[in-house]
Structures are given as structure tokens and as C-alpha cells.
Amino acid sequence: MQRKYILVLILFCIALNASGFLWKLFEPILLYDEVAHFITPFTLVLILAEIIYRSGGDDEFFDTPLRAIITGSVIGLLGAAGWEGIEVLMSMMGISVSNVLPDTLFDVFLGSAAGAWAADRYLDRIFRRSRTNANQPRVR
């Protein structure tokens, strides 16, 4: 993935989330919260895949499609836990924040799992590996 696409994804996520906070768009606009909480972890997991690729990693985190989804969900869970901590601090500072944990976890897991699935397919294509067994070459 080219760096300009990664930069565009990061800037889009920042704009999407910042707009939601500044103008309180998460609740009134239908599916705004779901889209923001889907795209952000999706982007973070794809960036992790790009880091693995550029650092010469052999893709042990996204070895098979199932393992990729589990790994992405764990990454999303860690990100959600960190974000929930930030939301608690924001609430303590008097900033109005919705802390509905089940909704946030669902959105984060969904986005992370989808991001991991996309990262797995991306890395398999780059490394020319089989979709079902990462130790085998791609058949086509």
C-alpha cells in the first residue's frame, strides 16, 4: 500500500472522529457512530499489516484467515480498552461522552476483524501464499 493511501486513511479517521466530537454527530446522525467505529480499527489493523510487510516480517500474526480475524479482534480490544480509558478521563473533565461499552466493543471487534481479514488477503497476495495455508505457495 502506498504511503499516500495510508496518510489519507489516517487523516480521514482523524477528521471523522474529530467531527463527531466537535459537532456531536455520533448520536443524531444515523449510523455515524457505527461507521466511525468500523473505519478506525479497520484502518489501524491495515496499518499494522503494512508495518509488518515493510519491516520484513513473515506475517506470523495473520498466518491463516481465522488467526487473522482473532488477531485483529485482539488489536481492536486493546485499542478499545485504551480508548475507554480516555473517555473516562474526558468524562471526568466534564466533556460529554457516550460510554456505552457493548456498542463500542461490537463496533471495534467488527472493524478490527474486517481489517484483519483484509490485511490477511493483502499480505497473502504480496507474499504469494495460499489463502488456506500460509506455508504453501499461491496456486493460480
| Of 112, 106, 114, 87, nearest in space to 33 by CA | 106
Give me the residue spans of the domains in the chain.
3-127
pLDDT tens, residue by residue, 122-133:
777 777 777 666
User: Distance between CA atoms of 80 and 92, rounded to whole angstroms?
Assistant: 18
Please name the residue that has the C-alpha cell 493460480. 140
**pLDDT-derived band of residue 140, with 50, 70 and 90 as boundaries?**
low
What pTM was computed for the model? 0.69
User: Distance between CA atoms of 18 and 78, rounded to whole angstroms?
Assistant: 21
Round the average pLDDT of the chain to a whole number and report it.
76
Q: Check residue 59 and give its pLDDT.
A: 59
| Of 44, 62, 43, nearest in space to 123 by CA | 62
User: Distance between CA atoms of 39 and 13, rounded to whole angstroms?
Assistant: 7
| Of 80, 78, 65, 81, nearest in space to 115 by CA | 65
pLDDT tens, residue by residue, 99-119:
666 766 666 677 777 777 777
